[in-house]
Amino acid sequence: MKYFPIYSLAILSVSLLINYYLFHIDMGLPVLILFLVLAFIFKETLGFIFCTTFFVILGFSITPPNIEIKDKEPVSGTCLVTSLPKKYYYNYKFQCFILSASEAKIQRQEILTIGNINPYLLDKLSFLGRVKNGKLYVYRTLTKIETPWYLAPIKKFREKLISNYRDNTLDKFAFSIGSSLLFGDKSLLPKDFKEALYNTGLAHLFSISGMHVAILFTFVVVLLLRFNRKVAYILASTFTVFYALISGLHFPVVRASGMAVLYSYGKFKNLKVDMLNLLFFVAFMSVLIYPYTLFSISFQLSFMAVLGIILFWRQLKFEISNKIFDYIVKPYLTSLFATFFTAPLLLYYFKKLSLLSLLFTTPLLILFYPYLVLGFLNITTFFSLSPLVKLFDFLGEILGKIILYIGDIHVLSVSTQLSVYSMIIFYIGAILTLLLRFNPILKLSVLICLFLLLTI
């Protein structure tokens, strides 16, 4: 099957969602293995039916429990940290997966945890606290926080990098922007800057995402490709994985790093790489390994942005003869495609969509590309070269001040409540329009109408 990753992710996700929201069935491992064997034995129609059944059962098997967490007496237990902590007033907040607890109903649940502790990703902590309004408030840890042996050196190295950066930084504002971009720490960003990012829709520039990985990957490949093709792709993949580790393993970076590694492998072996299949394969593995990924806003936005870019460039093929004009138009169109596919999710979750990002993303990239590359160079030099750090911070301050200025422009903003059904209809209509074979200009016209209907 040509698009097997798309089919497998679709079946797995639908079965997982049905089992999560409507009922909870656990079919067991023997049944799962049975249908997997049958899918391999039989071919054509019967094999397809058994394969589909296998993915449905797999979705049922990995579905996390959907239990309403009510306020209880003090609870104790052990949990696994699944997100980097963020500053929350005088405490920190982070997601924690409950491994065991004195209250049985919260076991195997991922819950927002708040406390005066600052753990690292995948740290294991024993706690005493209370569940209130669906959140776990940790009063104290019962034992020392355990960091997995394979992440301990990375944690120490990350802390050393941040310490070196703080010692050589230009000022607090520049340090807060740089830390957000390179280490995923948004807690230091000033309130007015956060509001400006939200109002302008430019938060994606300073939130660690696949775009940052793509810039790093492209920079390394372009730099080394003329010397040795294979070495270029190996080093580019190594750098992207390294960046994912020190930035805190945020899903968009993990997804993009996985795609970069698989893409490099394909190039290394001279294979034809299908980006659509690659995207769905990485997403499938992410959901399979950690089912809560499917419910993550970050996952949904990241996945839909990349899907939009791939589908648009595939279906609306055109070339611009003027190279200068080509460099200007294509980044704008790429930003437009990503916004088009993420707009329904933004309206559904945040009830607001700023179109200023369409106008300013591409011009800001003129400064952002060298800023990000300087950040990577500072990481490779351990932030030990003060002039390089100062130059990095200088560009960061310029970008920060521009965004604060744009944040005062209160136009081109859409505020509306979008239902789940409207969102599903929009995506079905957009994808069908892109896939059907008719005039590209007519396709664009239909897509623009869909977008306008979405924002009314």
C-alpha 49, offset from chain centre? 33
Give the global pTM. 0.84
Domain assignments of the chain as residue spans, ordered by start? 4-62, 75-141, 174-455
Confidence class for position 446, pLDDT limits 50, 70, 90: confident
- CA 267 to each of CA 117, 221, 273, 369: distance values in angstroms, whole numbers, following the listed order: 44, 12, 8, 25
Q: What is the mean pLDDT of the chain?
A: 85
Strand, helix or coil for residue 273 = coil
Give the number of C-alpha atoms closer than 13 A to the C-alpha of residue 292, restricted to the C-beta side. 14
Q: Is 452 exposed, middle or buried (0-12, 13-18, 19+ CB in 10 A)?
A: exposed
List the single range of 80-89, 298-307, 423-432 with lowest mean pLDDT: 80-89
> What was the pLDDT predicted at 347?
86
The helix (run of H) or strand (run of E) holding residue 375 is: helix 356-380
Question: What is d(CA 305, CA 421) in angstroms, rounded to the nearest whole number?
Answer: 20
User: Tokens 């948004």 appear where?
Assistant: 186
Confidence class for position 138, pLDDT limits 50, 70, 90: very high
> What was the pLDDT predicted at 104?
79
- DSSP classification of residue 445: H
Locate 267 and state its tokens. Answer: 């190039």
Give, in words, the CATH class of 75-141: mainly beta
Give the number of C-alpha atoms closer than 13 A to the C-alpha of residue 159, restricted to the C-beta side. 10
Confidence class for position 186, pLDDT limits 50, 70, 90: confident
Strand, helix or coil for residue 360 = helix
Question: What is d(CA 152, CA 95) in angstroms, rounded to the nearest whole number?
Answer: 19
Locate 195 and state its tokens. Answer: 């509001």
Helix axis angle, 356-380 relative to 191-200, nearest 10°?
130
Residue 447 has pLDDT above 70, yes or no: yes
444 versus 61: the higher-pLDDT residue is 61
**Residue 92 in contact with residue 116, Cβ under 8 Å?**
yes
For the segment 416-444, the average pLDDT, to the nearest whole number, is 83
